[in-house]
Structure 1
């Protein structure tokens, strides 16, 4: 014998019918609902009962009250939020961070407000960062706007002792990303722990995000760890439920596929230029005068046309470039040296967010093997004279310093060479994009 449930109150049945019309029926985003008087007349009830039913839907976040105009179906255009996208490579966009880039690609107007504070952490943050009582954190607080509406907040907490006097402390967007800055400071994050909580917002969160009644939030708490398991960043993202779809992608493939190298085509001119500009900006921020001039696009275009420019991809995104040719620069190399059999490396650039993979070493090994395949004797390059760090880099990768030449109007001229075919094996093996994956 079936037992019937308790009869639903009239205001609940009013809400049920209107909800069905919104989710499966004729009422769409922005549509006006029947008035309180019209609902009361249809259900043969009082106006206060109609209002009670409408308030159920307001509290569920399905409709909004816009007095005296009436009640309207809330317009929703959710942002797709992908926590797993943080460690994936993406095209360079010096002016915009990942959020701004994603929204621009979707044709939406995006902006953000950033402020930086030094404060005592909450118990939640102190535990995630394993801080001692009294230790302070630097917090980068962001409110992100889409089409003029505050969509979410993103508050990144860092142990103050790790980031003091770094770019983290500036209330500006960091073009290459705070994670890259942390890596440059010696705290590269290789693992993240994601926690997602769903609850009603606090009064502060409701104020920052201009939330109406009945709007729950998802709180995404992400803790970033270094190779040795040290927590160095705790991020609290507050995502209103009516504005976000949280999407996770899972596959058997490991994140960060094997890098591949391919010959650049005409369509890659802008990519090479952006990689070059990215490196120049990073050097400028460190007070290094290398490459502080507009890139010579005519030369890059000529190298591409001659098949001398190459691009390294990871996850189908360009992350590095190298140019290899047979042309000795006679401002630096003697005629006798130019007559020797050699390949010359130019314009080698690696994005800073993959610097820890040592793709530079991998490209030099690739160029060395290419030189040997072409029966060359040497792999050569000329480095910036004032960049001592770069010269040390090449010395540690098997290059011998031949001499330093000062040519008029030229800032390069520290000459290096190593035998063709020599492989140091310090970086990952570069597979040609035309090769079949090894089974």
Structure 2
């Protein structure tokens, strides 16, 4: 049986402002560091283009409108773990580093959103599993037959406005999901 290394513990703590302020790290870096591994993120592109239809729907923008698209690859001990493609409405990103810079500094993307007045107060995540595309197999250095976990993540501000959507694609043999959420009656 292959050892499974769960790197992703998605839930309220993952996006904690307190943890981000204490560590200066992004959610991925926090989780990988907790495991005693060395995290690395690589922003491969920042462009402006029309989003996929499901992303446009989540953002509440017409599918023909351009948004900022950021493609990030994530590594633990130089092993590729996941890719995340983030979509940000132009009226949110404006002329900030989110719209043009590959490196976002201390606290990473969520700190930059807060700088712009968009603190994350709620998230929605839709999780599915599927077989990877040939590009994902190559990019994530996956052995044959391993599926991927796809997480479609949406961040909301205090006014319940969606301000970013990220599609994460994770190796299922190296990632796990761990949620803890309140149950309301």
Q: How does 1:274-289 map to 2 (within 5 A)?
A: none
Q: Is the 8 A contact 1:78 1:245 kept in 2?
A: yes
Report the counterpart of residue 217 of structure 1 in structure 2: 148
Unaligned runs of 5+ in 1: 1-22, 24-73, 254-439
In the alignment, the residues of structure 1 paired with residue 116 and residue 83 of structure 2 have an alpha-carbon distance, to the nearest angstrom, of 26
Aligned residue for 2:7? Answer: 80
Q: Distance in 2 between matches of 1:133 and 1:181?
A: 25
Q: Secondary structure at the match of 1:187?
A: coil
2:36 is aligned with 1:107:
yes
Give, in whole Å, the separation in 2 of the partners of 1:183 and 1:147.
29
Which secondary structure does the structure 2 equivalent of 1:132 belong to?
A: coil
Shift of the 130–151 alpha-carbon distance from structure 1 to 2, 3 Å rule, reads: same
Assess, with a 3 A threshold, how the Cα gap between structure 1 residues 157 and 144 changes in structure 2: closer, same or farther.
same
Q: Which runs of 5+ in 2 are unaligned?
A: none
Q: Which residue of 2 aligns with 1:201?
A: 132
The higher radius of gyration belongs to 1
Which structure ranks higher in relative contact order (CA pairs < 8 Å, sequence separation ≥ 6)?
2
Report the 3-state secondary structure (helix = DSSP H, G, I; strand = E; otherwise coil) of the residue aligned with 1:78: coil
1:61-210, aligned counterparts within 5 Å? 76-84=3-11, 85-88=13-16, 89-90=18-19, 92-94=22-24, 96-115=25-44, 116-168=46-98, 169-210=100-141
Task: Tell me by how many angstroms 1:154 deviates.
Answer: 1.8
Tell me the residue number matched to 2:176. 245
- Show the 5 A alignment for 1:246-395: 246-251=177-182
What's the TM-score once normalised by structure 2's chain length? 0.85
Deviates more, 1:171-180 or 1:215-224: 171-180
Give distance in 2, aligned partners of 1:109 and 1:238: 20
Flag the 1:126–1:106 CA change in 2: closer, same or farther, 3 A: same
Aligned pairs, number: 179
Aligned to 1:186, the other structure's residue is in SS state: coil
Q: Is the 8 A contact 2:104 2:112 kept in 1?
A: no
Higher strand fraction (1 or 2): 2
The Cα shift of 1:78 comes to: 1.1
Looking at structure 2, the residues matched to 149 and 180 of structure 1 have their Cα atoms a distance apart, in angstroms, of: 26
SS of residue in 2 equivalent to 1:246: coil
- State whether residues 219 and 236 of structure 1, in contact with CA within 8 Å, keep that contact through their aligned partners in structure 2: yes
More helix by share: 1
Contact 2:73 2:84 in 1 (8 A): yes
SS of the residue aligned with 2:166? Answer: strand
Alignment of 1:51-70 (within 5 A): none
